[in-house]
Amino acid sequence: MELRQLRYFVTVVEEAGFTRAAERLHLAQPGLSAQIRQLERELGQPLLDRSGRSVRPTEVGAAVLPYARAALAAVDGVRQTVEEYTGLLRGRVAVGLVPGTLAHAFDMAGQLADFHDAHPRVEVTLTEDTSDRMLAALRRGELDLAVIGIAEEEPPPGIAVHVVIDEPLVVAAVPGHSLLAEYGGAGAVPPTALRGHRLIGLPRGTGMRGVLERLCAEAGFHPHIAFEAATPDGLARLAARGLGVAVLPGLGARSGLGALPLDAPNARGRVGLAWRAEGPMTPAARELLGRLREGMGGGG
């Protein structure tokens, strides 16, 4: 088994075909196919399913893929570590963000700009997605770092998290809404009171949606999500037009809305910087992680 064969295999999976992979690798397609088949013969199992319009990993190939990526990352890490000691930090860092991160007060855009100024040879790629999908991408090695919403008290298995936002969730609606009127005297809304109301929440797969669904499940019902928006600001805007009751972090409440805390000890909107707890991390990713942890503050 040769390192280049693993690189060829990973590239074919990423490009979902031999033609695009060969173009990306600057190889002739027959030669690329021959190298992959040689790797499959050595392992004794097909790694790629070639039967469809696009090439996909087989079950064995999907199981092998994280190890192939880890091997390539380890070799790249060796090279980059040597370059780091000679003052030539370079490489690539893949960062995932929940929508709205770039507009937040911890100034993610500014911190990335400062990192780029200090290390212009490092390529930083950004992806916006749901927290669930970014966690899966972290585990597969497709992302190095991600800013995610956190649904549970404990970090997901294999993932380390530095919490940067930890806010109580509030129920927000137009002033005079029946829910606010009923519980205004109590000063808080119990999760059971959300039953039967048209709710406005973040999409499935986000940390805050996970918290909302868990709280409702504990209260014995499924939430009626009438509208979804990608950011807390979007939730507030929809609620301000009278479209329903928004559940959002306290910092997301806006003028023109009434708001009451959601009365549950674990009703919190939490966002954290996440990375793989185990396995190699390139010097570039490690440097950016350290800068972001310092710049973002927070707990965890």
The total number of structural domains that make up the chain = 3
Same domain assignment for residues 280 and 132: yes
User: Same structural domain for residues 200 and 276?
Assistant: no
Q: What is the mean pLDDT of residues 170-187?
A: 91
Query: pLDDT over 90 for what percent of the chain?
Result: 54
pLDDT at residue 108, rounded to an integer:
85
136 and 283 part of one domain: yes
Task: For residue 180, name the pLDDT band (cuts at 50, 70, 90).
Answer: very high
pLDDT for residue 86: 65
What pLDDT is attached to residue 199? 96
Which tokens sit at 164? 């940067």
- Asked if residue 85 belongs to a domain, the reply is no
Does residue 274 have a pLDDT over 80? yes
Q: Give the Cα separation of 178 and 275 in Å (integer).
A: 43
Q: What per-residue confidence (pLDDT) applies to 201?
A: 92
Residues 143 and 10 placed together within one structural domain of the fold: no
Same-domain check for residues 151 and 276: yes
Model confidence at 30: pLDDT above 80:
yes
The answer to whether residues 63 and 146 belong to one domain is: no
Please state the rounded mean pLDDT for residues 239-248. 92
Instruction: Report whether pLDDT(251) > 60.
Output: no
| Of residues 133, 146, 141, the one with CA closest to residue 95 | 146
Same domain, 22 and 103: no
| One domain for residues 281 and 147 | yes
CATH number at residue 278: 3.40.190.10
153 lies in the same domain as 21: no
Q: Does residue 300 carry a pLDDT above 60?
A: no
Residues 187 and 261 in one domain: yes
Q: What is the tens place of the pLDDT at every residue in 188-203?
A: 999 999 999 999 999 9
Range of the domain at 160: 90-164+271-296
CB 231 within 8 A of CB 130: no
248 part of a folded domain: yes
